[in-house]
Structure 1
Amino acid sequence: MGSPSIDVADIIERQRINGRQYLIVLLCALLMFLDGFDTQAVSYIVPVLAKTWHLPREILGSIFSAALVGLMVGYLAISPLSGRFGHKRMMVFSTVFFAIFTLLTVFATNVTELIGLRFLTGIGLGAAAPSAVALTCEFAPKRVRSTFVLLVYCGFSLGFVVAGFTSGVLLPAFGWQSLMLAGAVAPLSLTLPLAFMLPESLAFLKKRPQADERIRELVLKVFPSAPIPPGSGFILEDEGQSRASVAALFRGRTSVGTLLLWGVFFLNLAEFYFLQSWLPTMLTGLNYPAATVVWVTALPTIAGVISALPLGLAMDRVGPYVTLTAMYAAGCLFMFMVASTFAAPVWLLMIAVFCAGFCISGGQKSVIALAAIYYPSSLRSTGVGWALGIGRLGGIAGPLIVGVMYSAHWTPAEVFRVAALPVLVAGCAVFLMGRLSGSPHEMEARRVPG
């Protein structure tokens, strides 16, 4: 008599969510927190360096975009290697990698060194995020998968917020190097918890010797009460799907959706990094007090954190396409509102920026959750990684385009009015993607092997 075959996805769906699953979410969220801290910290040191190193306006956009170029390389070239080495190893290696180059940034003496080190740091940051999302999804039941991914990306937003307030404490007292030093020490301290407390990817274990026994040990570690007899074989979610190559994203039902998804990522990240990179410089140029600059710049990411739970629940219950279409339409209106409040009382500006951030920062996390549930598990890391990588082209382009506009003496209000339109385009793309993909139930039905 053959060994029984057990569907791991069925175990995950039937078991109650437990502390081990929450620990996976927490560790992945901490990694994304450090990713966000490192990414945003440069926005606060650039105004200091501009004065200290006498940098022209034209070079500032290149500094902002250097790490984003590295992020794109990490997403597109490095993160697909997780299929060979496993998500856990990829996360540990990437964390050490970006920590080392952030530490070396402390010793930069000119803008060329700074741009080069930020590019290398970005490669490590970009390699870590897709594996964090994919590993979270592997151990999350479908009913809360979007919520879990959004919670992980809350860490990214919190990193942005904490970078702002930490800069307000460290920069005046210890100089710009102190912020980079903090951004290096923290990820190094996280590597041991990642190495010893995270489970390995089930899909990776399936390719290893004695795969079924390894999977049984891991599943019982995460779900101690699961009824799994010795000698069982295991079936993984979407195990029969094609290998995780970028070409596989354009086979079958995911082809057109992939192009639309890439467009949404591009536009959303262009808006997000425009806000986070240029708001401090714009507000400083309008002579707002330093404390106000920190608070207003932090508001989009604070709003993004607050948005995670309601948007995750709406995506799981109402549907991802309806939720994101409505959110982007509202985001367009709020960007116009920001453009109208630069000369208004500060509290009005803060409300407008908060609402715009709810839609744009929240949209960034939501569209990652959409990608995670759109692709089958065999394509998930590659699909999310390539979407983020293409999105980083927008993240690079956004600050550079605004830099050109700012150098041409466009006012902040004029920049925000133009920036409102791509948000509406992103909403239209999500709407079309939903029309082509059908309902979430139809999506799941297409994944069930016939």
Structure 2
Amino acid sequence: MRTRLRAGRTLMVTAAAATVLVAVAGCAPGSSPVATAPSGDVSTDAPTGDITIKIQDETGFPVTSDLSDEFTKQYPNVKFDIVRDSFQNLLANTPRLLASADAPDLIRQSTLGTTVKDGLLTNLDPYFDAYGWDKFSAGQLAGGRITDDGVRGEGSLYQFGIGFSVTGIYMNKTIASQVGITEAPATLDELESDLKKAKDAGVLPIQTGMQDGVGTFVLQALINQYGDKQDLIDWMYNKPGATIETDAALKGSTKFQDWAKAGYLPTDVNAINYTTMVSNFTSGQGLFMWDGNWDAKNVETGLGAGNAEFFLMPPAEAGSKHVAMGAGNTFTIPAKSKNADATAFFLNWIVTNDKARQIVVDVTGSSPGGDPTQALPTVEKGSLVEQALNNSATVATDDGFVDFMANSTAGIYQGSLQPNEQLLLTDKMTPEDFLKATQEFYEKDLAAK
């Protein structure tokens, strides 16, 4: 039974731990992380005295400003100094920033790389124990853990998420109605049927781009629907012997290329970046857009209330459990932070304070995370943000969250996925060769660490 389109639909929302934009992460098997724990006992007391918490954040992630403003209202003795840079620059400069004598207290860090092994990060295990973060869903913090052998998903905790994402598909309901689509697709076959309807009606079926690799959302959403998700998780978390050269990945890569050949993607897909993709879609160009909950407000503002729907990638077979990419907008506390206790207090406040949790939802559209028994913030009935929270709850119930492919190693996003997907979509590389090249880069990147 397909979910009928209707504005103002009321959704039952439950708490979910489930993130933004393509992120990159990884660490080499065989490395030996240095457990840089705070010296002495950690304090969970509210900060005292006049202090300034320095935050190094990513451009386009304004929630830290809203959160810091509210925190200062509640704790006037604490001020914040927030510096922002592009994702690419931040990725390249993080090791230098962490090693600096003037290191920030909190840094947006999507990739661990060798920063744990090099002793540049604070081990958050003492705070995990002190604040009782064991109440959180284990999956919420799994991506921020790493073992002594460099395997992610286990071991000590080094990253903490501010807002947790779920990815899915945005649908322009006005265009859907024009081409005869009245329901969100419930299976991949129904989705493909809708793509063909749009194409036959002269409408762009999929708005996406590959200039900066955002089209990877589409590719992984396809791979997620085939085979056992654990195979992909093991690969992304650098489990020894894991490979991307699986039947599921081959089916997904082949389908992605087939959609490009069928004209379901923009003809200039390799010239479209993330910002342009969202701008194009919100201006009415495209039936579907693969993206995350963080753009729920942007889409609703652009297309108008009630004119869009946000649904999960449909499974290959009707009734199957949902699998979707999701992760936290991860931050770390540098080992050289001068205010580690205060910064950890701030992080804990974000997931426990009602006003802070409301800010996370209002600004990012993401689940606030934290203790799943804590009530979710209020959202407008029928809004895309409510739909996003509902989707997050559905995936959590189905145990279907997986990390992002681009998080598998520190360099794989820009060094392999982005350029080779461009070749895949222009039929200059076969799906088999694409996966082979991806695996070869993955192994070299891990070996180099």
The answer to which structure has the higher strand fraction is: 2
TM over 0.5: no
Instruction: Name which structure has the greater RCO, CA cutoff 8 Å, separation 6+.
Output: 2
Under a length normalisation based on structure 2, what TM-score does the superposition of the two structures give? 0.21
State TM-score, norm by structure 1: 0.21
Q: Higher helix share goes to which structure? A: 1
